[in-house]
Amino acid sequence: MRDANPQTIYLNDYTVPDYLIHSVDLNFTLAEENTKVISRLTLSRNPASKSGDTALVLAGENLTLISVILNDDNELTDQHYLQTPDSLIIHEVPQHRNFVLTIENIINPKANTALEGLYLSNSMLCTQCEAEGFRKITYFLDRPDVMPQFTTTLIGDKDRYPVLLSNGNKIAQGELPDNRHWVTWEDPFNKPCYLFALVAGQLDCIEDSFITQSGRTISLQIFVEKQDLDKCAHAMQSLKNAMHWDEQVYGREYDLDLYMIVAVGHFNMGAMENKGLNVFNTKFVLARPDTATDSDYEHIEGVIGHEYFHNWTGNRITCRDWFQLSLKEGFTVFRDQEFTGDRTSKAVKRIEDVNNLRTRQFAEDAGPLAHPIRPHAYIEINNFYTLTVYEKGAEVVRMIHTLVGAEGFRKGSDLYFERHDGQAVTCDDFVNAMEAANAIDLTQFRLWYAQAGTPVLTVQQAYDAEAQTLTLTITQQCPPTPGQAVKEPMHMPVTVGLINKDGSIAPCKLQDLERGNERDEVILQLTQAEQTFIFEDLKEQPVLSILRGFSAPVKLIMERRLEELAFLLSHDSDTFNRWEAGQQLAGQIIAGLIADIQNNRPLQVNPIIITAFKQVIEQSWDDLSYFSLLLSLPSETYLAEQMQVVDVEAIHTAREFVLLALAEQLQEQFKTLYQDNHREESGVFDSGAIGRRRIKNICLAYLGRLEQAQIQQWSQQQFDAAKNMTDQMAALAVIVNSSHPARQQCLSNFYQQWQTEALVIDKWFALQASSHNPDTFTTVQALMQHPAFDLKNPNRVRSLIGAFSQANPLHFHAANGQGYQFLADQIIALNTLNPQVASRMLSALTTWRRYDQGRQALIKAQLERIMTTEDVSKDVYEVVSKSLA
Ligand code: 0A1
Ligand code: ZN
């Protein structure tokens, strides 16, 4: 291991920095293998520091130190400082006045395959500094509560690096001998170093502008490699939409005169909100109707929004320390979710977000790495960019929104911005602002920040015909998680509606509410381990619609008859619960079939689901995307989440059995829907066309299971004639997951057609890796040897290794353990190249206790093998050791 005893960092150990950096002047002489960095820091002792130690400790990793000069004339020698593998300790510095430290060092971007700090992507140089990457550029106080002003000069060859970018405004530029040039950038806003960025390379750009609500004109630029210039229009429109939305909904205007986005092909995550200079994974910028699917288009708008919204929630107000990560991420995810909901379909967006939360975050919360949205401890902060911090964090913000209402939430956010602009703050500061603006007591609510695990609500109802009341008894209980055996009850909103037998709304009249205060729905405030709520004036027993809109991130246990679920699928006026009823209906039927499979009983699909789906199809639908979600079955991963011991084979067989039954019995309906909605149109990103594609492609997926010649022909035709990637991929997926005679031919045609488009080739890899065809594992092994595969490109790794291990439970969990051994081999290789990506690829192994004994032993053996890897990174060490604990 690199660090024999990796250190754990604790939230409770937080102390203010001993020194402050007021300004930093950076000077880069750029070269692929040998970049020279000169950093001139103006510092002073922090008057708030209580430390008795006067040494100045700067963080730095993988740096070749050339010189350290104090106050411009005093060159320090190794007697004055100590260099360790991760720091530079200067023994004595002035205590009572500002001082200047000039540090020169060399870095090697080409050798940087971890993609943290300054690195090379194709021939472009770019940076990624969050969370602690700046220390791989130069020695610094690399922590978010140190916020200097940055000035940056970039010097480089004019041909290799015609474009030289950094944060803020360009203030000067000039020519140098030897075909070189320089540019100086100044960022007027103080910021932590994790928001620093530089980009240098042969880039082209599209330009536009946005006029803010106060009338300022902002220049907008998107930089890409030349061949991608025709794929930037949607990203640019998305940026303008986001800027407008933040003004309308939060009253927030952009602050600099320039907003730049750069798309890079090698990136560990989705995108990064560096001040004035966002760096994006190409996946979340580039789109042309023939190369990107509707879902890509939607994600691009969402991620562009997310990074833009960070300008206020993250940059103007940042985190005091990395334990507060959810302060910026939870809030910003909530903001981007609402943005996308407003831009597309609120109902669909909510369902997609909840699906993601329940399949992936719930698994995290139930596993060995469970942590609260504000963790208490970490070894490697990069391991905490999790679904919990992001998605559950957003749910916590959403609950505050539900509790105080839209207007109250806006008052709270206004107060938060007013109080903390320019500061590095904590999650508590956010909750305090919401509380102060709304006269609400959030004391108990704060537990959501400290307690891990998914609470389980149990609901019991009793109707009293004589008293005409419905009594709800709700209990809450949160399972133990690592380090937290016992949990306190939490404060959460539970939104409830009541429906009469004829489908009409029954007014909710809570016993304690004043007369006349009846509503179509009510928000119950849950605060105790067990609570009772009484609804009055109910002449008949209503059907309960509870946890509407998924008003709290919990698991709900409630006995429901299939008839009741089918009724809600037809009648619930809450779009989320209506869909949820269908999911539960299908889930219960599939669970029954799983039990039949495990007990060797004959299989038969309960016809109630056929009738219910038929009724859904017979209704008329404006929102075709929502309609198609109502016809979708819960995923294998979600079904696995519901089982005590996951049985991947039974889940797959049972789910496919229901899909086939629906396809057989509703084939006429599916065929009509397909034909009615099929157009050979180029992909326009408008909701009507998106909805048509979505419903027809789900019908095609059902019909593909029938293996009929007619459907094989339809899919082949759609594949050949498609003018947009949504239709082409959907047809190819049907072909690849069946015994279509042209399967290999279509795959090879697709490759030929798209070999120069990296993001499309990612789809080609992912589709084959997630196929349920029997030859999938052999295919995956062969694809690892394909010339287009590259372990150094995170998008490729995610599309092949990630898709196989995380989106193909059937084959990844093959009983002979070949999938586990394969993944462990790749993680060991990635550990040296890119620890962050290696650690993320571990997620398929961390849930090992959910499987049968045989699989448990096989996975555990692989985790143990990974643990003994020479030079195991902190990232991988933390995840593996916690998984085995
Ligand atoms: N703050 C970014 C996410 C991000 C985090 C870490 C990264 O590199 C290690 C890159 C990006 C966001 O939330 O979009
Ligand atoms: Zn973010």
pLDDT digits (tens, 9 = 90+) for 88-126: 999 999 999 999 999 999 999 999 999 999 999 999 999
Separation between Cα atoms, residue 769 and residue 59, nearest integer Å:
41
Q: CB within 8 A of 48, min separation 6: which ones?
A: 16
pLDDT of residue 516: 56
For residues 262 and 165, what is the distance between their CA atoms, to the nearest angstrom?
9
Q: Indicate if the alpha-carbon torsion angle 803, 807, 810, 812 is positive or negative.
A: positive
- Among protein residues, the one whose CA lies closest to atom 1 of ligand 1: 272
Q: Which of 303, 385, 390 to mutate to test the pocket of ligand 1 (most atoms within 8 A of CB)?
A: 385
Residue ID of nearest Cα to ligand 1 atom 11:
272
Q: Looking at residue 800, what DSSP letter applies?
A: I
Ligand nearest to the CA of 271: 1
- The residue with tokens 């700067």 is 58
Task: Among the bound ligands, name the one nearest to the CA of residue 194.
Answer: 1
Would you say how long the chain is, in residues? 885
Quickly count helices (H) and strands (E) in the chain.
30, 32
Q: Answer for the pair 576, 549: CB distance below 8 angstroms, yes or no.
A: yes
Whole-number mean pLDDT of the chain?
97
pLDDT of residue 517: 64
Residue minimizing CA distance to atom 4 of ligand 1: 272
Give the residue from 61, 33, 119 showing the smallest Cα distance to 792. Answer: 119
Q: Report the separation in Å between the CA atom of 230 and the middle of ligand 2, taken as the mean of its atom positions.
A: 27
Ramachandran quadrant class, 288 (left: phi over 0; alpha: psi -120 to 50; beta: rest): beta
As a whole number of angstroms, the distance between CA 147 and CA 21 comes to: 7
Q: How far is the CA of 537 from the centre of ligand 2 (A)?
A: 47
Q: Report the atom number in ligand 1 closest to the C-alpha of 314.
A: 1
Cα of 333 vs centre of ligand 2, distance in Å, is 7
pLDDT in the model for residue 230:
98
Using the mean position of ligand 2's atoms as its centre, give its distance from the Cα of residue 385 in Å: 9
CB atoms closer than 10 angstroms to residue 83: 14
Task: Decide the pairing of beta strands 456-464 and 555-557.
Answer: parallel
For ligand 1, pick from 130, 299, 873 the residue to mutate: most ligand atoms within 8 Å of CB. Answer: 130
Tokens at 228, concatenated: 């991608």
Of the bound ligands, which one is closest to the alpha carbon of residue 333? 2
Q: Torsions phi, psi of 616, nearest 5? A: -60, -45
Collapsing DSSP to helix, strand or coil, 547 comes out as coil
Extended strands (E) in 383-529: 424-425, 456-464, 469-477, 492-499, 505-506, 521-526
Gap between the Cα atoms of 113 and 638, Å rounded: 34
Of the bound ligands, which one is closest to the alpha carbon of residue 284? 1
- The band of 1, judged by pLDDT with boundaries at 50, 70 and 90, is low
- Taking CA atoms only, the protein residue closest to ligand 1 atom 12 is 272
The set of protein residues with a Cβ atom below 6 angstroms from ligand 1 is 128, 130, 268-273, 306-307, 329, 382, 385, 836
Atom of ligand 1 nearest to the CA of 382: 9
Nearest ligand to the CA atom of 329? 2
Question: For residue 69, how far is its CA from the centre of ligand 1 (angstroms)?
Answer: 33
Residues in Cβ contact with 469 at an 8 Å cutoff, skipping those fewer than 6 apart? 463, 511, 534, 535, 536, 538
% of the chain at pLDDT higher than 90: 97
Ligand 1 centre to CA of 115 (Å) is: 12
**Contact in structure between 452 and 367 (CB atoms under 8 Å):** no
Q: What is the pLDDT of residues 846-879, one digit of tens each?
A: 999 999 999 999 999 999 999 999 999 999 999 9
Indicate which atom in ligand 1 lies nearest the CA of residue 303: 14
CA of 131 to the centre of ligand 1 (A): 8
Distances from the Cα of 628 to the Cαs of 698, 734, 767, in angstroms? 7, 17, 21
Question: What does the pLDDT read at residue 513?
Answer: 66
CA 453 – CA 396 distance, rounded (Å)? 13
Alpha-carbon gap, residue 185 to 705, rounded angstroms: 58
Catalytic positions, written as ranges = 307
Percent of the chain topping pLDDT 70: 99
Q: What is the pLDDT of residues 22-55, one digit of tens each?
A: 999 999 999 999 999 999 999 999 999 999 999 9
User: What distance in Å separates the CA atoms of residue 800 and residue 788, rounded to the nearest whole number?
Assistant: 11
CA–CA distance, 810 with 813 (Å, rounded to integer): 6
Residue that the structure tokens 């946005």 belong to: 210
CA gap 663, 665 in Å, rounded? 6
Task: Return the residue whose CA atom lies nearest to atom 3 of ligand 1.
Answer: 272
Kindly give the number of the ligand 1 atom that is closest to the alpha carbon of 128: 8
Question: 318 C-alpha to center of ligand 2: Å?
Answer: 11
Measured CA to CA, the distance from residue 780 to residue 372 in angstroms comes to 36
Is residue 391 within 8 A of residue 353, CB to CB? The reply is yes
Protein residue with its CA nearest to atom 6 in ligand 1: 130
- For residue 67, pLDDT over 60 is answered with yes
Q: In the structure encoding, which two tokens stand for residue 833, read together?
A: 């190249």
Measuring from atom 8 of ligand 1, which residue has the nearest CA?
130
Distance of CA 852 to the CA centre of its chain: 30
Q: Which of 269, 273, 332 to mutate to test the pocket of ligand 1 (most atoms within 8 A of CB)?
A: 269
Specify the 3-state DSSP secondary structure of 310: coil
- The model's confidence at residue 682, banded by pLDDT at 50, 70 and 90, is confident
Residue type, position 662, single letter? L
Q: In this predicted model, what pLDDT tens digit does every residue of 428-462 receive, in sequence order?
A: 999 999 999 999 999 999 999 999 999 999 999 99
CA distance between the termini of the chain:
18
Q: Which residue has the tokens 């095609």?
A: 700
* 323-335: average pLDDT: 99
Residue nearest to atom 5 of ligand 1 (CA): 130
752-801 pLDDT tens trace: 999 999 999 999 999 999 999 999 999 999 999 999 999 999 999 999 99
pLDDT at 611 over 80: yes
Check residue 3 and give its pLDDT.
52
Name which of 212, 216, 218 is nearest 260 in CA terms: 218
Identity at 559, one-letter amino acid code: E
Atom of ligand 1 nearest to the CA of 385: 5
Q: Give the tokens for residue 528.
A: 């105790």
Mutation to probe ligand 1, out of 135, 196, 261, 272 (largest number of atoms < 8 A from CB): 272
